[in-house]
Structure 1
Amino acid sequence: MQFTRTLPRELVHRAALAEVFLTDAERHGEDDFLLAAQLPRRHAFYHDTLGDRARHDPMLLLEACRQGIYVVAHRYLDVPLGHKFLLRSVEFEVSDPEALACGDHPTQAVVATRVEHRFRNRSGPTGLRLRYAMTIGGREALHARIDYSWMSPSAWTRMRAGQRGALGLPETPVALSGRRVQAARVGRRDPDNAVITAPRTDPDGTRTARLIPDTGHPTLYDHWVDHVPGMLELEALRQLALTAAVDAGTLPAPTALPVGLTARFRCFAETDLPLECRTGPVLPGADIECSLHQSGNLAAEVRLRLADPATTGALAAPAAHSAV
């Protein structure tokens, strides 16, 4: 597989070449594919951390896998470019923390990808469940699974118009602004990479903050979409979970890595309505239960495991998760 140039940006639904991480794709049988990825040594979003920069953020590896959903659909299943895609569930687990190490050159990764299930209706396939195993330097770094679906632009427009109309929202979204939490509280250096408001803790131990959908963010909104992207939702809950773990005393600083995650996206999250992030009480050694709520509806639920990069034992034993 080649790592000398990226795949076409339109094939992975990215506008900026710098945000394209996949470099090659091959088909090996009806349901099996290989993807090649080059991970940057430094990225303005994924490597913006107050902690150890010697390891890749697992969310960067997940993003490379996410880009693969489009490659498999467009290149090998003849889903037309221009079709709209919807994340339904996402999960990953770091299988070898040492494989996350950043070297003196961009990291080359190979992602074994398999179709586990095809979703269909009367007209044919409407989505896939893909399983991934990412290998870096001969070591399996990450296992992931993504459920997703697609639809034509006209069907998407009708669906979204109906959804937004039912909420009394205008056709074109306008993102709500808000005062961001101090970047250092969520382990970031760049204030623009903090994506939640300052958290508050309720008497029952529930921690809440509001997600800030900055539609000008060059990574999280690489191109215009009419809703809050799934990767932004995951980032907001990661940041809230970090503050909760630090305040609960289970982490010394907000510099932990997400080493295991299971997420289900229940409905669209609109940019122009308040979107509340919540975490339950944080217990030592336990996954953190998180959720997103908007207009009285559950938008997403996430189970997240964090581990401090300085604690090798914690990184080496992520929790096992069952299958956006």
Structure 2
Amino acid sequence: MQFARTLPKELVHRAAVAEVFLTDAQRHGEGEVMLAAQLPRLHAFYDDTLGPRTHHDPLLLLEACRQGIFVVAHRYLDVPLGHKFLLRSVEFEVPDPAALEYGDAPTEAVIGTRIEHRFRSRSGPTGLRLRFTASIGAREALLACIDYSWMPPQDWTRMRAGQRDALGLSQSPVALPGPRIDPALVGRRDPANVVISPPHASGDGIRTARLVAETAHPILYDHWVDHVPGMLELEGFRQLAVTASHAEGTVPAPRALPVGLAVRFRCFAEMDLPLECSTARVLPGADIECTLHQAGSLVAEGRISLADRKRADLAGVGGGPGTHRCP
């Protein structure tokens, strides 16, 4: 596997070369692909933290896996580059957080990728479930599963127009503005990287905030899309969970490291309608349950595990085998 240059940005659906993390892809038999990724030493979004910069953000490595879903589809299944893609579900766990510690050079990861399931219609393949095992050196840094599907652009346009019409929305979405929480309360330095409003807490421990979609963000909106991207929804869950955990005294916001996540996307999230993100009561040692609602419908639901990156026993908080892995 080579780490000297990135894969073509078009292959991984990125507009900025700087946001391409994959450097190589090799097929290893039927349904097996090896990916290579180089993680930057200081990323403007994923490494923006008030806490100690000791570990790579697991969501950065997840983004490398997400880029791999396009490589598998385009390069090895001949899905045309113009097709549209959507996430169905995302899961990951960090079995060995120490593997994510920074080194003295950019981190090189090898990501084993296996096709777990092929989704089909009468016209042929329409999606995949991929399982990823990302290793840094000899250590497993991330285990992940992603379900996703694709369709021709004309089908996408017809589907999206019908969905927006049903909600009484125009065909040209414009993101709703909104206030944002103090960056320190989600462990961030840069206010531009905050994606939730100040949350409201109810008496039963439920916290609710608005998800703020900023289409000028150079990473979360690397290129134009007509809806709220899945990775932005995951970030909303992470930030609200961090806020809730900090408020309950479980994990301080600057030191919160996501070590497990499982999210299912139920429908598109529109950027020009209020989008409410909620967390259930935070209980010590338990995953934090999260939901996303819009116009009375469930958009996404999941759970996230946070660990304190300064804990002496951090190597033991990855959740254990099978906690967050896809079935």
Shorter-normalised TM-score: what interval? over 0.9
Unaligned runs of 5+ in 2: none
Give the root-mean-square deviation of aligned CA atoms.
Answer: 0.9
Letter in 1 for 2:324: H
Q: Which residue of 2 aligns with 1:260?
A: 260
Q: Which residue of 2 aligns with 1:146?
A: 146
Q: Distance in 2 between matches of 1:312 and 1:34?
A: 33
Identity %: 71
SS of the residue aligned with 1:312?
A: coil
Q: Is the Cα contact below 8 Å between 1:278 and 1:290 reproduced in 2? A: yes
Q: How many residues align?
A: 323
Q: Is the Cα contact below 8 Å between 1:130 and 1:146 reproduced in 2? A: yes
Q: Is the Cα contact below 8 Å between 1:289 and 1:302 reproduced in 2? A: yes
Q: Distance in 2 between matches of 1:143 and 1:134?
A: 6
Q: Is the Cα contact below 8 Å between 2:84 and 2:152 reproduced in 1? A: yes
Q: Distance in 2 between matches of 1:254 and 1:284?
A: 18
* 1:314, distance to aligned residue in structure 2 (A): 4.4
SS of the residue aligned with 2:92?
A: strand
Q: Distance in 1 between matches of 2:13 and 2:252?
A: 38
Q: Distance in 1 between matches of 2:316 and 2:114?
A: 25
Q: Which residue of 1 aligns with 2:13?
A: 13
Letter in 1 for 2:293: H
* 1:322, distance to aligned residue in structure 2 (A): 4.9
Matches within 5 A, 1:285-300: 285-300=285-300
Q: Which residue of 2 aligns with 1:124?
A: 124
So what's the TM-score if we normalise by structure 1?
0.98
* 1:113, distance to aligned residue in structure 2 (A): 0.2
Q: Which residue of 2 aligns with 1:86?
A: 86
Q: Which residue of 2 aligns with 1:52?
A: 52
State the 4+ residue runs in structure 1 displaced beyond 6 angstroms: none
1:3-37 per-residue CA deviation (whole Å, 9 max, x = no partner) reads 00000000000000000000000001110000000
SS of the residue aligned with 2:169?
A: coil
Unaligned runs of 5+ in 1: none
So what's the TM-score if we normalise by structure 2?
0.97
**Is the aligned partner of 1:321 residue 2:304?**
no
Q: Is the Cα contact below 8 Å between 1:308 and 1:315 reproduced in 2? A: no
Q: Distance in 2 between matches of 1:109 and 1:63?
A: 13
Q: Which residue of 2 aligns with 1:190?
A: 190
Letter in 1 for 2:112: A
Q: Distance in 2 between matches of 1:312 and 1:134?
A: 24
Q: Which residue of 2 aligns with 1:35?
A: 35
Matches within 5 A, 1:72-221: 72-221=72-221
* 1:316, distance to aligned residue in structure 2 (A): 2.0
* 1:318, distance to aligned residue in structure 2 (A): 2.4
